[in-house]
Amino acid sequence: MRVGLLTGGGDCPGLNAVIRGAVRVGTDHGHEHVGLLGGWRGLLQRDTRPLDRDAVAGILTRGGTILGSSRTNPFKSEEGGRECVAAFADLGLDALIAIGGEDTLGVARRLHDELGLNVIGVPKTIDNDLSGTDYTFGFWTAVQIAVDAIDRLHTTGESHDRVIVVEVMGRHAGWIALESGLASGAHVIMIPEQPASLDDVCARITARRERGAGYAIVVISEGVVLDAGAGDGAVDEFGHTLLAKASVGETLAERIEAQIGGEARAVVLGHVQRGGTPTAFDRSLATRFGARAAQLVSEGSYGRMVALKGDTVSDIPLSEAVSVLKTVPEDVYRRVAEVAAGR
């Protein structure tokens, strides 16, 4: 069996651990591996590198991806699907393991369901917004990085009686804000799914001030829309609205100052949340995901995505994983927000 591997979308701590797990277990099963460089672009352009045990030695702890990544969408053009089929044949592939989020796995699903290619998916995204798996690898690393930063922002915020607005990643789903806000003791948590008004946020900060606490930590997802209808309508290759150039965290800090006075500062954590070594949990989860993907190839169980259910790594149809984005349910958010706002 000749097996291709690719990593697509935003990079994520644990990608290399998946590649290593899949190659090590696949090699034991007698598979030969080839890496496709830069996500789906690597398949379309037949841009590859060999992957064997030596090539994946020492990468378990490394952030990023040794295969590179891109947001190339083959289905953007009408011939894209057929070009993928041709490239698959040209490269002599028997199977492909696609490691990615909603967009990458959406392409994987179509290549399997509509064009009959032997594809397996592995769920990756720091956003944790893929259905069918309890967690995607990389998510808890991003949360830990955000928590480490917010711990530090508590002490400087408190020393200066400032409001610190911490903007974390999460365009459509607020999981990073929710968990990092909860774990770091943030006072206000704002997520795209449950937009709080500026008045609500200011009322909570004012209530803290009345109780004698001069500072506050507000954690906000980058995807929160403060003004409905704002933005220039620009979209990426997958049709997702691009975020406004002005950071929502900075805008919120300015508005808090204007509405209730005092000093407010914004900290945009940005790509630091995606960089560097994965946590132990993510190294382990990613390795188990890679191993399971190799197993599925051996079994010929294509069109499936590996998934974590409780403490077991299993698999589900790719179609189930990409049908609905996993967003934060209202009751989950309410319970966390209550703790954050508590006295």
Task: Choose, by CB under 6 A, the member of 171, 209, 255, 265 that binds ligand F6P.
Answer: 171
Residues in contact with ligand F6P, shown as a per-residue x/- string from 40 to 79 under the rule CB under 6 A: ----------------------------------------
DSSP, collapsed to helix, strand or coil, labels residue 132 as coil
Which of the residues 127, 129, 282, 315 is marked catalytic? 127
Task: Say how far apart CA 82 and CA 73 lie, in whole Å.
Answer: 13
CB-wise, 9 or 74, nearer to ligand F6P? 9
Cα separations in angstroms, 290 against 124, 283, 307, 313, 314: 11, 11, 11, 10, 12
Task: Say how far apart CA 275 and CA 65 lie, in whole Å.
Answer: 10
CB-wise, 232 or 338, nearer to ligand F6P? 232
**84: its two tokens:** 């993928």
Task: Choose, by CB under 6 A, the member of 18, 108, 169, 306 that binds ligand F6P.
Answer: 169
Task: Choose, by CB under 6 A, the member of 4, 6, 8, 10 that binds ligand F6P.
Answer: 10
**47: its two tokens:** 């841009």
Task: Say how far apart CA 132 and CA 152 lie, in whole Å.
Answer: 35
Task: Choose, by CB under 6 A, the member of 7, 125, 180, 251 that binds ligand F6P.
Answer: 125
Stretch of 123-131, 195-203, 310-318, 320-328 contacting ligand F6P, by CB under 6 A:
123-131
Task: Choose, by CB under 6 A, the member of 100, 170, 192, 278 that binds ligand F6P.
Answer: 170
Strand 216-221 relative to strand 162-168: parallel, antiparallel, unpaired? parallel
Is 193 a binding residue for ligand F6P by CB under 6 A? The answer is no
For the segment 261-280, give every residue that binds ligand F6P (CB under 6 A): 274
- Residue 314: enclosing H or E segment and its boundaries? strand 312-317
Is 205 a binding residue for ligand F6P by CB under 6 A? The answer is no
Stretch of 61-69, 165-173, 180-188, 303-311 contacting ligand F6P, by CB under 6 A:
165-173
- Residue 161: enclosing H or E segment and its boundaries? none
CB-wise, 48 or 221, nearer to ligand F6P? 221
Strands of 188-190's sheet, edge to edge? Answer: 188-190, 216-221, 162-168, 263-268
CB of 174 to ligand F6P, least distance (A): 11
Residue 238, classified by CB atoms within 10 Å of its CB into exposed (0-12), middle (13-18) or buried (19+), is middle
For the segment 206-245, give every residue that binds ligand F6P (CB under 6 A): 222
Contact present, 112 and 135 (Cβ < 8 Å): no
Task: Choose, by CB under 6 A, the member of 22, 117, 126, 217 that binds ligand F6P.
Answer: 126
Is 9 a binding residue for ligand F6P by CB under 6 A? The answer is yes
Q: Which residue is nearest to ligand F6P (CB)?
A: 10
Q: Is 127 a catalytic residue?
A: yes
DSSP code for 244:
P
- Residue 266: enclosing H or E segment and its boundaries? strand 263-268
Task: Say how far apart CA 300 and CA 292 lie, in whole Å.
Answer: 12
Applying CB under 6 A, the residues found at the interface with ligand F6P are: 9-10, 125-127, 169-171, 222, 274
List, by residue number, the catalytic residues.
Answer: 127
